[in-house]
């Protein structure tokens, strides 16, 4: 895999505006730009963290890492491939508070994937499901690869076979939450993916900061 260039780190939100039309045609609506209070949310979500999926909530004295991503974004996949292992280890060893914000501006399949990821969080399988989504990313965006049936099959490969999971994916249980994430990202002017904040400050978009594990680690822990 070719190393992504700095210019490819950003994903312009113009794509997102086009994707809104696509979402409406498949019945997934993102027409409102206001956060909706009465929507189903995964238990690991913290509204105070922009509706992000939080690991190690309440842990103090450690860095907080916010990751804004879109599961169809190839550059997000490359960031994940470089940093996923160490981020998972930091979470397990309680070295960071991690907040994941799955965006859906690339298109309908991003929305399906974000919802399914939230469903996997209810099964305590978010991190392996997150990894599997990127490992199996389609070669083209909105190619038709990802839909409720294929996402349920992906979960089954990870041992997620409960009826609650399949119902959650099939019925798009967390679609309102997906919209809230998108609206929060818009409010915070998150206009590209991946976007990573450390203790609330966005890291500079350079090749090393995003795609060199040692450099990223130094940024997180200010070594």
pLDDT single digits (tens) 159-211: 999 999 999 999 999 999 999 999 999 999 999 999 999 999 999 999 999 99
C-beta contacts of 217-220 below 8 A and 24+ residues apart: 217/86, 220/63, 220/65, 220/90, 220/96
The DSSP letter of residue 178 is H
pLDDT at 36: 72
Residue predicted with more confidence, 34 or 111: 111
pLDDT single digits (tens) 117-148: 999 999 999 999 999 999 999 999 999 999 99
pLDDT single digits (tens) 27-66: 333 334 566 778 999 989 999 999 999 999 999 999 999 9
Q: What are phi and psi of 163, to 5 degrees?
A: -65, -35
Q: What are phi and psi of 17, to 5 degrees?
A: -65, -40
């Amino acid at each position: 895999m070719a190393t992504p260039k700095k210019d490819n780190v950003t994903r312009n939100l113009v794509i997102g505006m086009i994707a809104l039309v696509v979402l409406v045609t498949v019945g997934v609506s993102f027409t409102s730009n206001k956060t909706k209070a009465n929507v189903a949310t995964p238990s690991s979500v913290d509204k105070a963290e922009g509706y992000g999926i939080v690991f190690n909530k309440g842990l103090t004295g450690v860095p907080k890492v916010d990751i804004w991503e879109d599961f169809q974004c190839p550059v997000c996949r490359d960031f994940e491939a470089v940093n996923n292992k160490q981020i998972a280890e930091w979470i397990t060893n309680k070295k960071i508070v991690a907040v994941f914000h799955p965006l859906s501006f690339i298109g309908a399949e991003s929305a399906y994937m974000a919802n399914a990821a939230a469903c996997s969080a209810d099964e305590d399988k978010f991190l392996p499901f997150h990894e599997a989504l990127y490992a199996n990313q389609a070669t083209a965006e909105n190619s038709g690869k990802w839909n409720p049936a294929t996402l349920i099959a992906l979960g089954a490969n990870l041992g997620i076979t409960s009826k609650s999971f399949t119902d959650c994916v099939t019925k798009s249980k967390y679609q309102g939450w997906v919209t809230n994430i998108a609206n929060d990202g818009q409010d915070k002017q998150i206009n590209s993916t991946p976007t990573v904040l450390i203790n609330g400050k966005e890291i500079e978009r350079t090749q090393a900061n995003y795609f060199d594990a040692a450099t990223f680690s130094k940024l997180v822990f200010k070594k």
